[in-house]
Structure 1
Amino acid sequence: MSKGYDNPSYEGNGKLDTYEKEDKGANGIQNGGDKQFVNEDDGKREKFSFRQLWLFTGPGWLMSIAYLDPGNIESDLQSGVVAGHRLLWVTFWASFLGFLMQRLSARLGTVTGKHLAEICYESFPKVPNVLLWIMVEIAVIGSDIQEVIGTAIALFLLSKEKIPLWAGCVITLVDTFTFLFLDRYGRRKLEFFFAFLIMVMAISFGINYGADLPPQGEIAIGTIVPGCTGCNKDWFLQAVAAVGAIIMPHNLYLHSALVTKNDVDRSKKSTIRLANFYTSVEAGISIGVSFLINLIVVSVFGHVLHDKTYGEINARCNAKNWYPEMFNCTIDSNTCVATDNVDADLYKGGIALGCTYGAAFTFIWAIGILASGQSSTMTGTYAGQFAMQGFLNLNWAPWKILVITRLVAMAPTLFVAGFTNIQTLTGLNDILNTVMSIQLPFAIIPCLCFTSSRVHMGDFRNGPIQKIIICLLSIIVLAINMIFVFQYVSETVPNKWYFLVPIVIYFVSYFIFVGYLAIYLFICLGFEQLTKFQFLRRIYKLEPFLEQTLDIP
């Protein structure tokens, strides 16, 4: 089996090969700018090119939308309500960890010309491969439901409750086909459109931020200084939830697929090296922007709702005559106590902004949520398309995959929207964040496997220090997510045997599968002595490691 960088170039939008007919350096990278890189093929230096970075711009911004989906925005909101600005450092480091994982995912696609799902199909036997596909599709559908809920709530607020929640769900289903139609006119146009939606989010949430500037010193300290002074159980659970909400499992599959559309000459190591650099820079910029938007949301609600009681917010609503019943604890349908600290979700948070700054700020908030839901809708569609195509080796038309994933996601959402209330619908986000946390190992472990493998990445595999750092950080992230899952299950599942037995059976099977993937990870990390065991040769595809034999004692 040939190493990744020997694979033929992948047809796409045109990136590195765009300059085949223009002035370029010896490695196929356009010269320009003022920062230089060493071309190891001939010892020459290549300058940093903003024009080349522009040509690589697109996949990272589409990927970063997952960091701004309605589930993340609600997690930011709740982080601000629960802990003020003191958990901003969690959002920062979670975003940084997300960048490290996205960088690995992008490197895999750039070096091999194949995306993560395709390599899973080639590298795992049929049963583990199908199980991985199911887990990824569950993550895609869970994310899809969050996006539908976010869009429905935004339309509910913008129409002053004239568009019912179920109708908002149907509208979301229809407009996804509109975006797919836009994609037929070129991926670049779709990338520009989503960049516009990110700008709408930044402006919308930024207006709320500027309405009454939060204490800038507290925000800076909360972002830079890790700590938990005076924290309680709610703070800890919110910090764990924030990590789980930001790092999305299907996003690793998505990013690895999007970068394969870059046209790279994989016969030259220097070209691949610079391609890896530009994709990393683009991913870093896009995730940095998404972090700033997340920071704004946390800061706004940390300033408006942290340590505020239902009685205080109700007084604001009465003064503005804006949804005076929302935080009124004397109404039987509101299960709250006036002296308790307020809690919030996407809907109540928007109302609280209107009660604090004026009705217009509820609508401004809703516009931002609408942009969040609409933009993340299409990235979820792409992730589902790439997963199905890669894991099952299918080449269905995108609209067929869209119909299947959308209908599966829409059925439970429509049921809840049609037969329950807004509180139940918004409460689904907690369940869905738990679902995302459960699926995370099935993206992180395969990504670590293949980016550390000499068989798949050749000279571009993770180095020893990088392997140690990434593996340790991944263990921390997975442990944090499991804490969140078990805490949520223990608090919500009734203590009855007929509930507990299926859950125990599921998690035993779950950890057996995670262990199966972990053994393969050890082989990819360099413990190739394991390939000597006949039992492992029967349950894994180890032929590539045996064909490219190292001196195994």
Structure 2
Amino acid sequence: MSKKHTQAQSLANVHSTVDTNKATGWKRLLAFIGPAYLVSVGYMDPGNWATDIAGGSAFGYKLIWVLFASNMIALLLQSLAARLGIVRGLDLAQASKHNYPPFVNFWLYILAQIAIIACDLAEIIGMAIGLKLLFNLPLIWGVSLTITDTVLMLWLMNKGMRKLEGFIVSMIFIIGLSFLIEMFIVKPDVMEIAKGFLPNNLFKGDKVSQQMLYIAIGIIGATVMPHNLYLHSSLVQTRKINRTNEGIRSAIKFNLFDTTIALNLAFFVNAAILILAASAFFRNGYFEVAEIQDAYKLLEHIFGTTAPVLFAVALIASGQSSTITGTLAGQIIMEGHINLRIEPWMRRLLTRLLAILPAVFTILHYGESGLGGLIILSQVVLSLQLGFAVIPLIHFTSDKKRMGDFAISTKVKIVAWASAILIVSLNAKLVVDQVNEWLKESPNSIWMYAVIIPVVIGVGLLLIYVFIRPLIFKYRETPNYVPHGLAEALDEMDPITYHHIGITIDFSKNDKDTIRHAMMQGGKRAKYTLIHVVETAGARYHGTEVMDHETQSDVDNLDKYVEEIKTLGYHASAQIGYGFPADAITTVVKKQEVDFLVMGSHGHKVLKDLIYGSTVDKVRHNVNIPVLIVKPPKR
């Protein structure tokens, strides 16, 4: 199957970095294993723990069928997401961008971002509870400290896809082993568990059924997470495959194995948590709805006084692993839907800050006891967003013109649409019931009629549009836009001559290589301007010339470089900038009308990249001339 690639690669820095073509036999299967495990982390995050514990403690084993049905729906939808990524080389956000107008894509991005923030909110609270159990740290401080996990995320992402997947799998092992062992030791009622797989009526209309429906939708939202669909459709593209019919078919088969194994493991873990909650709480009549803060008691049977420590470690592991996958999903939806690419640490920081605010507000306003309810609310928000990811996914994988022989069959299509209808129907009922309840409590509220009801109507109309649009414009081929545009025809190549070349100098051992590369670009016909930025406190504060000792020393050293270059027969001059490096370099380049810039790279990683690497990136985006980055040689 041939395919013209015109779109930017999803997660370009790890795209096709794992070669599956060299492996044979069972090693080939192992080469494909990984993406679904990263996805399955979202099925075992603190949000799942909270909904499972709440469901088990409030209703015993009655909601096991909801958990099982959610897992089956998740298995189907994740396999469709993997199929989309493998066959079309597009993630779900990119495919949406090609099929919906920019205005709709913007709102799809906003809704997907809200879902990621809701997921992050659960991780924040879970990690804060873990820190409290380990160090008796107040939750308000634990919530605030979770902002520091950005550094860990960056470190792991820099280590490569395989090591990242290894870290995630180890976290899953820690979480799963704890709860699976405990389930066998507690010895729950097997017959009651079996009955729990039989569906219960969630639509009786009484208060108990309403609460059960609320938690059931929370379980669906915690299980079938919308951002996981975006993530999976991108992660499968980290595997390098043969772009033939046979190669694609083989990739779909192996990824189905990967998805089935990973998600069923996640189901057993979640089922174990719900069963333990039913056995420890519901059966003994201790709690109406147990909070996640109390859940460490589930482990006391085998670990005694060490239960809080083990529970806390598993909870933090769960939160950290989900943080990484949430960040990747955020990158995918931002680049895919709205064509915006920013640094991962900046995106991570923004998402985390937006999630911390409601957690801090809840603690200050309702106290620590309100956090359990906030986690469940976050999972309901995830479920409410599901339709906007599921409906486009089914449309895209059903399209025979674009998917060719790999479009889903009629049977799969029927089951997929039935799942989508179930999800949307449950969410619609929840929203209608909640709005009616608010209207009864405050029938004359201005907020209800001015904000809440119009927003609900607007979201409903958007969902209808998302469903109808692909049916009307079924074979639209031209993408709206792609991050780097379309390839242009290459005709005759005229030589480019640079007349004024700028060289950034930092008086390190890398200066010689930077200057040498610059001279190779312009020869003796070009003019060279050596640029150095004074970063003293005075220069940063005033942003202008400050002739302190360091500045005078820098001027003298720069003049020495200029004289040596002139001795070699080149035209050179010096320019000193003051204050923040990126801004100062940009100012000099524009003022001196430099037409080519050569910069030395420090080659730092992770934390130092945040400090030093940002200068290079900012300058590249601030100037409209070619920039050559010279990396230091390995020594």
Structure 1 394/346 Cα, relative in aligned 2: closer, same or farther at 3 Å?
Answer: same
> Is residue 123 of structure 1 aligned with residue 99 of structure 2?
yes
Structure 1 247/491 Cα, relative in aligned 2: closer, same or farther at 3 Å?
Answer: farther
Give, as a single letter, the amino acid of the residue that structure 1 aligns with 2:448.
L
Q: Spell out, residue by residue over 1:371-423, the C-alpha distance to the aligned partner (whole angstroms, 9 max, x if none).
A: 22121111111111111111122333322222222222223323434555211
Structure 1 229/418 Cα, relative in aligned 2: closer, same or farther at 3 Å?
Answer: closer
Q: Is the 8 A contact 1:72 1:245 kept in 2?
A: yes
Structure 1 486/244 Cα, relative in aligned 2: closer, same or farther at 3 Å?
Answer: farther
Of residues 197, 204, 209, the one that matches 2:178 is: 204
> Is residue 17 of structure 1 aligned with residue 24 of structure 2?
no
Structure 1 255/543 Cα, relative in aligned 2: closer, same or farther at 3 Å?
Answer: closer
For CA contacts below 8 A with separation 6 or more, give which structure has more relative contact order: 1
In structure 2, what is the equivalent of residue 44 of structure 1?
A: none
Q: Is the 8 A contact 2:217 2:426 kept in 1?
A: yes
Q: Is the 8 A contact 1:165 1:418 kept in 2?
A: no
Q: Is the 8 A contact 1:194 1:375 kept in 2?
A: yes
Q: Give the Cα separation in 1 of the matches to 2:147 and 2:396.
A: 35
Q: Post-superposition shift, 1:79?
A: 1.4
Q: Is the 8 A contact 2:202 2:213 kept in 1?
A: no
In structure 2, what is the equivalent of residue 504 of structure 1?
A: 453
Q: Give the Cα separation in 2 of the matches to 1:487 and 1:60.
A: 35
Structure 1 356/56 Cα, relative in aligned 2: closer, same or farther at 3 Å?
Answer: closer
Q: Is the 8 A contact 1:5 1:111 kept in 2?
A: no
In structure 1, what is the equivalent of residue 418 of structure 2?
A: 472
Q: Which has the higher strand share?
A: 2
In structure 1, what is the equivalent of residue 54 of structure 2?
A: 78
In structure 1, what is the equivalent of residue 67 of structure 2?
A: 91
Of residues 240, 251, 275, the one that matches 1:299 is: 275
Give, as a single letter, the amino acid of the residue that structure 2 aligns with 1:253.
Y
In structure 2, what is the equivalent of residue 190 of structure 1?
A: 164
Of residues 321, 329, 333, the one that matches 1:375 is: 321
In structure 2, what is the equivalent of residue 169 of structure 1?
A: 143
Q: Give the Cα separation in 1 of the matches to 2:411 and 2:3.
A: 22
Structure 1 158/431 Cα, relative in aligned 2: closer, same or farther at 3 Å?
Answer: same
In structure 1, what is the equivalent of residue 308 of structure 2?
A: 362
Q: Post-superposition shift, 1:300?
A: 0.5
> Is residue 259 of structure 1 aligned with residue 236 of structure 2?
yes
Q: What fraction of aligned residue pairs are identical, expressed as a percent?
A: 32
Q: Give the Cα separation in 2 of the matches to 1:122 and 1:421.
A: 46
In structure 1, what is the equivalent of residue 529 of structure 2?
A: none
Q: Spell out, residue by residue over 1:443-462, the C-alpha distance to the aligned partner (whole angstroms, 9 max, x if none).
A: 11111121112343222122
> Is residue 520 of structure 1 aligned with residue 469 of structure 2?
yes
Give, as a single letter, the amino acid of the residue that structure 2 aligns with 1:495.
S
In structure 1, what is the equivalent of residue 569 of structure 2?
A: none
> Is residue 238 of structure 1 aligned with residue 215 of structure 2?
yes
Give, as a single letter, the amino acid of the residue that structure 2 aligns with 1:437.
S
Q: Post-superposition shift, 1:208?
A: 3.3
Q: Spell out, residue by residue over 1:162-196, the C-alpha distance to the aligned partner (whole angstroms, 9 max, x if none).
A: 21112222332212321221220111111111101
Q: Is the 8 A contact 1:133 1:391 kept in 2?
A: yes
- The SS at the match of 2:240 is coil
Q: Post-superposition shift, 1:211?
A: 3.9
> How many residues of Structure 1 are paired with residues of Structure 2 in the alignment?
466
Q: Give the Cα separation in 2 of the matches to 1:515 and 1:141.
A: 24
Q: Give the Cα separation in 2 of the matches to 1:56 and 1:500.
A: 50
Give the TM-score normalised by the residue count of structure 1: 0.78
Structure 1 8/516 Cα, relative in aligned 2: closer, same or farther at 3 Å?
Answer: closer
Write out aligned runs for 1:443-458 (5 A): 443-458=389-404
Give, as a single letter, the amino acid of the residue that structure 2 aligns with 1:447.
L
Q: Give the Cα separation in 1 of the matches to 2:401 and 2:30.
A: 31
Q: Post-superposition shift, 1:343?
A: 2.0
Q: Give the Cα separation in 2 of the matches to 1:486 and 1:366.
A: 38
- The SS at the match of 2:61 is coil
Q: Give the Cα separation in 2 of the matches to 1:209 and 1:359.
A: 18
Structure 1 208/361 Cα, relative in aligned 2: closer, same or farther at 3 Å?
Answer: farther
Q: Post-superposition shift, 1:356?
A: 11
Q: Give the Cα separation in 1 of the matches to 2:397 and 2:291.
A: 38
Q: Is the 8 A contact 2:99 2:470 kept in 1?
A: no
Q: Give the Cα separation in 2 of the matches to 1:413 and 1:435.
A: 15
Q: Post-superposition shift, 1:369?
A: 1.9
Q: Give the Cα separation in 1 of the matches to 2:219 and 2:226.
A: 14
Q: Post-superposition shift, 1:221?
A: 4.1
| Range with greater deviation from structure 2 (347-356 or 289-298) | 347-356
Q: Post-superposition shift, 1:228?
A: 5.5
Give the TM-score normalised by the residue count of structure 2: 0.68
Give, as a single letter, the amino acid of the residue that structure 2 aligns with 1:242.
I
In structure 1, what is the equivalent of residue 152 of structure 2?
A: 178
Give, as a single letter, the amino acid of the residue that structure 2 aligns with 1:375.
S
Q: CA RMSD in A?
A: 2.7
Structure 1 252/85 Cα, relative in aligned 2: closer, same or farther at 3 Å?
Answer: same
Write out aligned runs for 1:32-181 (5 A): 32=25, 50-159=26-135, 162-181=136-155
Q: Give the Cα separation in 1 of the matches to 2:417 and 2:95.
A: 20
Q: Give the Cα separation in 2 of the matches to 1:503 and 1:230.
A: 24
Q: Give the Cα separation in 2 of the matches to 1:157 and 1:490.
A: 40
Q: Post-superposition shift, 1:229?
A: 11
Q: Post-superposition shift, 1:347?
A: 0.7
Residue ranges of structure 2 left out of the alignment (5+ in a row):
10-14, 480-635
Structure 1 210/480 Cα, relative in aligned 2: closer, same or farther at 3 Å?
Answer: same
Structure 1 308/521 Cα, relative in aligned 2: closer, same or farther at 3 Å?
Answer: farther
| Range with greater deviation from structure 2 (76-85 or 162-171) | 162-171
- The SS at the match of 1:462 is coil
In structure 1, what is the equivalent of residue 581 of structure 2?
A: none
- The SS at the match of 2:247 is helix
Q: Is the 8 A contact 1:98 1:247 kept in 2?
A: yes
| Range with greater deviation from structure 2 (55-64 or 354-363) | 354-363
| Range with greater deviation from structure 2 (98-107 or 403-412) | 403-412
Q: Give the Cα separation in 1 of the matches to 2:477 and 2:245.
A: 26
| Range with greater deviation from structure 2 (103-112 or 474-483) | 474-483
| Range with greater deviation from structure 2 (440-449 or 286-295) | 440-449
Q: Give the Cα separation in 2 of the matches to 1:355 and 1:287.
A: 27
Q: Post-superposition shift, 1:114?
A: 1.7
In structure 2, what is the equivalent of residue 281 of structure 1?
A: 257
Structure 1 421/353 Cα, relative in aligned 2: closer, same or farther at 3 Å?
Answer: farther
Write out aligned runs for 1:423-502 (5 A): 423-491=369-437, 494-496=441-443, 497-501=445-449, 502=451
Q: Is the 8 A contact 1:448 1:521 kept in 2?
A: no
Q: Post-superposition shift, 1:80?
A: 0.9
Q: Is the 8 A contact 2:63 2:196 kept in 1?
A: yes
Q: Post-superposition shift, 1:205?
A: 1.8
Structure 1 360/229 Cα, relative in aligned 2: closer, same or farther at 3 Å?
Answer: same
Give, as a single letter, the amino acid of the residue that structure 2 aligns with 1:517.
V
Q: Post-superposition shift, 1:240?
A: 3.4
Q: Give the Cα separation in 1 of the matches to 2:428 and 2:375.
A: 17
Q: Give the Cα separation in 2 of the matches to 1:412 and 1:468.
A: 39
Q: Give the Cα separation in 2 of the matches to 1:356 and 1:422.
A: 28
Q: Is the 8 A contact 2:215 2:376 kept in 1?
A: no
Give, as a single letter, the amino acid of the residue that structure 2 aligns with 1:167.
W
